[in-house]
Structure formats: C-alpha cells, structure tokens
Amino acid sequence: MNISISVKQLGKKHPLLQEKSIALDIENPVITTQKLIESIVDHQVQLFRSSSFEFEDEDKIHLPKENYLPILTDTGKVGFGALYNHNQVDLAKAQENAILAFEDGLYAVFYGDDQLETLTEEIDLSQNKNLTFIRLTFLAGSYW
C-alpha cells in the first residue's frame, strides 16, 4: 500500500521532508498507530540496509550533478550519499525507540487533519490522506 509522508519541525518554514510516497507491506488498510509506526520504521531500515557503504581508506570527492547543490542547500543539509556508519541496524530496537519517542511526545503524527494521539487508535489508510510527522522541540530554560 502506498502512503504519502512528510516531516515537519515546529518553527521552520519549510518541511524537513516534503511529500514522499512509500510502499508499505500492509494487507489490511485499517491499522493501529503502533503498527503504522512499526511498518514505516521497517521500511526505513530496509532502505538503509540496501544503501551502499563506502569502504575507502581516504575520502574522495563526489561531485554533485547540475542543480543538485541548490536542492540540498534548500533542505539545510548537504550530503553526497555516502554512508560511513557500517553498523547493522537492529529492527526491533529501532521500532521500540520509535514507539517510545511517540509515547514520550517527541513527535506528533497527523493523518490528514486528525492527530493520532494513542498507539491503539485505528486509521483507514484507504482514504489516501497525507501522513505528517512533526518533530517537537522543547524550550530550554530554568525556573530561577
């Protein structure tokens, strides 16, 4: 099933990740929030595992193609696709961290205009609404 995802952060004008369509391995379109988060983490872990690693002794310059650099600078991060972390990702641990972060309120999930507030809340993915993740930032300060 294909779903459209975007990632935003409070206080930023532009989204961290504009609408991106991903295919999830889900049989039933009615799904709980927990299963949805676990499925998205599973998709991202598989995507990371399929990415190429560079095992070079020295770092070589990977020149971007035309019009690639302005796109990267608009997102605020310039990278050339090289992955230097050679550790394997533990899927169960990644899913557990994502669920814990949701429970702790580190990010909010919206399906269309409706906020998903609990892990047991069911949504119908056949409605083809946009799924939005919003990273929440906390204010630093003191009571003094």
Distances (CA, A) of 58 to 18, 49, 55, 61, 94: 33, 23, 9, 10, 30
Whole-Å CA distances, 98 to 6, 85, 127: 16, 20, 24
With a threshold of 0.75, does the pTM exceed it? Answer: no
Q: CA–CA separation, 8 vs 133, rounded Å?
A: 6
Q: How confident is the model at residue 41 (pLDDT cuts 50, 70, 90)?
A: very high
Whether residue 61 is predicted with pLDDT greater than 60 in this model: the reply is: no
pLDDT digits (tens, 9 = 90+) for 66-110: 666 666 666 666 665 555 666 778 899 999 999 999 999 899 999
Domain positions in the chain are 2-52+88-135
3-state secondary structure 52-98: CECCCCCCCCCCCCCCHHHHHHHHCCCCCCCECCCCCCCHHHHHHHH
Structure tokens at 17: 């990740």
Domain 2-52+88-135, what architecture?
Roll (3.10)
Residues with Cβ within 8 Å of 49's Cβ and at least 6 positions away in sequence, in order, are 88, 89
